[in-house]
Each structure stands twice: as C-alpha cells, then as structure tokens.
Amino acid sequence: MSVIQVNGIDLYYKIQGSGENESLLLIAGFDSDSSTWAAMMRSLVQQYQVIRFDNRGIGQSSAPDSPYSIKQMAADAVALLDYLNISQVHVAGHSMGGQIAQELALAHPEKIQSLILFSSWAKGDGKFNSLIELFGDLTQKLEGALYQRVLLPWLFTDAFYSTPGIMEQLINWIEDYPFPPTPHGLYHQSRAILGSDTSDRLADIHGPTLVMVGKDDIVTPIRFSEQLAQGIPNAELVILEQGGHAFVVESADTVAKVMLDFLEKHKQGT
C-alpha cells in the first residue's frame, strides 16, 4: 500500500504502467475512490503510467471530520504529483473529480498536458444542488450499503439495469468492499461540491481539453458539459450515445477508446 502524508492527511495512491510512458492522473468523483477506474485500466496502462488516488474523505485516504473544499482536494493532487516528481501530466476527472481537475488546471496550468472532464460541470443549478445536498444529508440517515443502493439508479442506465445479473454483482461488490466510506466523509465531499464554482474562470483553462458526457446522464445533464465546452477555449465535446453518469464503469471500453484517441493527439512531440 502506498500512502503519503500531505496537507494534514494520509493520501492513498497507486501507480500502474511503465514509468517510461507519459503520466496520466485519474481523479474520482463523489462517493468514489480509485477503484472507479478499474474497468478502464487494462487499456490505459498499455500506453501510460497511470496514477490513481483516493480523495480525502474516501477509500484508504483519511476522512477528517471537518469541512473540505474542491480547491483543497486539488491541492492534495498537486502534492502527490510533487512527491512523485511529475512535472507534467494528463489529467482526467469524473464528476466531482472533474471539478478537482478544473481547479488543478487553473492553479497549475504548467503541470497540465491535457485535461479530460467526464460527467462534470462548472456550476450546478438549483435541481442539481438540491440533489447533492440530499446525497449529503442521507449519509446521516441510511446505513452504508443501503445508502449505496439508493444512489445506484441515479448512476446507471435502464440498459445496464436490464443486463441479467449485473446489478446483483455490483451490489455484492459494494457490500463486500473492504474500504467503505464514512458518513461524515461523504457529507463533507457533498458540501465541497456545493461550494465550488468555476463558471467565471473557464476561459483561463487553455490546455487541450476533452469534455465528455453520457446522453442518459440524469445527474449532470448534457447542458452542464455544453457549458464547460463553450467556456473553455478550444475544448472538444463528446456526447456518448449510450451512457449514464457512471459511464466510466458502465461503458468503460468505449470511454477508454475516446479517451485514448484524444490523448494520442496531445502527446509530447505530436
């Protein structure tokens, strides 16, 4: 297990792939740790040194019972890159991880070789904020496994649900997972989401950027990604025809292919 102490917490991370390749940092979203990317790893590690980590409040990283911010979690990611002596990196963030990736790019543009924002947003609207507030409040009301099951219909499509046996497998995995989140960790993550807004700073993100969303995403609808793509200079928008909010799990192979095609265009020397 690889853990470093940064910004007053223990931060868990994992590196796979050849160190001779360019580096790719993956940042997970709310209620998600580094295992979120597992289905994509086989494709990614063939071409990149892939760095995954658990945000504060989740997985094997510390979950202090005090307020978090998206900028703070971006600072955690930067501290990890500095510890690993990585001066430039491709960065991909999913959902809340996309918020973190935006703040990382804004604070340290010199470190960002390219940016990928999955199912993310600049500023939530009233409905979205109400939903995230509810997700945070429910952590105090529901037992852990039941809480996770309540979230699942928001994350996956009808097609995924209709695949024989898939939801049973997913629920069993959740119930057996050895590093379940703490209620207070999730609560503080939810409030960090609500406190973040990059809408008036998107024009300051100048690196190559891919914005991607699933057509059936009911948590972060297409208009959120359209706002990102319109606000970030020269950003590329891809709408996946089949995919919900958790399309990095549900449609992992398709997402990985789009991701790798984008990254190939922005390797050093190309």
Binning pLDDT at 50, 70 and 90, where does residue 209 land? very high
- Predicted pLDDT at 193: 98
pLDDT at position 216 over 70: yes
Binning pLDDT at 50, 70 and 90, where does residue 4 land? very high
Antiparallel, parallel or unpaired: β 9-16 and 49-53: antiparallel
For 172, residues 6+ apart whose C-beta sits below 8 A from its C-beta are: none
| Encoded tokens for 196 | 């973040």
- Predicted pLDDT at 20: 86
What are 114-168's pLDDT values in tens digits? 999 999 999 999 999 999 999 999 999 999 999 999 999 999 999 999 999 999 9
Mean pLDDT computed over 108-118: 98
What are 88-101's pLDDT values in tens digits? 999 999 999 999 99
For 190, residues 6+ apart whose C-beta sits below 8 A from its C-beta are: 30, 132, 133, 135, 136, 139
Regarding the domain delimited by 2-265, which CATH topology (the fold level of the hierarchy) does it fall under? Rossmann fold (3.40.50)
Q: Where are the domains of the chain?
A: 2-265
pLDDT at position 269 over 70: no
What are 230-259's pLDDT values in tens digits? 999 989 999 999 899 999 999 999 999 999
As a whole number of angstroms, the distance between CA 63 and CA 152 comes to 23
pLDDT at position 1 over 80: no
Instruction: Please report the DSSP string for 198-245 in residue order.
Output: -TTTGGG--S-EEEEEETT-SSS-HHHHHHHHHHSTT-EEEEESS--T
Exposure string over 130-151, b if 16+ CB within 10 A, otherwise e: eebeebbebbeeeebeebbbeb
For 269, residues 6+ apart whose C-beta sits below 8 A from its C-beta are: none
pTM: 0.97
How large is the C-alpha radius of gyration of the chain? 17
Mean pLDDT (the chain) is 96
